[in-house]
Amino acid sequence: MARSKSKKRLSAIARIGDAQRRLRNGYPAQPVTDAYMKRYGVERWVAQEELMAIGHREAVQVEKLERKGIDWDYMYDPYSGELKPVPKGTEEHELYLFWMLRRRLFSIAENVA
């Protein structure tokens, strides 16, 4: 007879510690949120919050956008110096494109002068 797999019910702190260990070792590949939900038997919002708490905010945001079928692009945040995913066509993305175009035009003008 086949043994049934039992999902360990871990407390939130133990679950986060186990997840940090697994993610540090390269598990899982993608999608992170679905693998977390399956392994620990939690709802999507719990998995997303806990993954963001341990430093996987970008992966969660990208998965959320892709699951909704939204095209996205990375945006350079000049205040923090980080790249962050933003949906294409939003005001934030358009401002970023304008900022990058302006920056390129100024650098071209400086090289010509």
Is pTM beyond 0.85? Reply is: no
Q: Which residues contact 110 (CB under 8 A, 6 or more apart)?
A: none
3 state DSSP class of 73: strand
Distance in angstroms (rounded) separating the CA atoms of residues 65 and 85: 9
| Domain interval for residue 39 | 7-69
Q: What percent of the chain shows pLDDT beyond 90?
A: 1
Task: Mark whether 83 and 63 lie in a shared domain.
Answer: no
Question: How confident is the model over 14-23, as pLDDT tens digits?
Answer: 888 888 888 7
Decide: 70 and 87 in contact? Cβ < 8 Å. Answer: yes
Question: How confident is the model over 55-74, as pLDDT tens digits?
Answer: 888 888 888 888 899 888 88
The rounded Cα 113 to chain-centroid distance in angstroms is 42
Q: Average of pLDDT values for 32-50?
A: 87
Task: Mark whether 91 and 107 lie in a shared domain.
Answer: yes
Task: Mark whether 20 and 57 lie in a shared domain.
Answer: yes
Task: Mark whether 65 and 75 lie in a shared domain.
Answer: no
Task: State the greatest distance between any 2 C-alpha atoms of the chain, in Å, as a whole number.
Answer: 80
Q: What is the mean pLDDT of the chain?
A: 79
Q: How many CB atoms lie within 10 A of CB 86?
A: 21
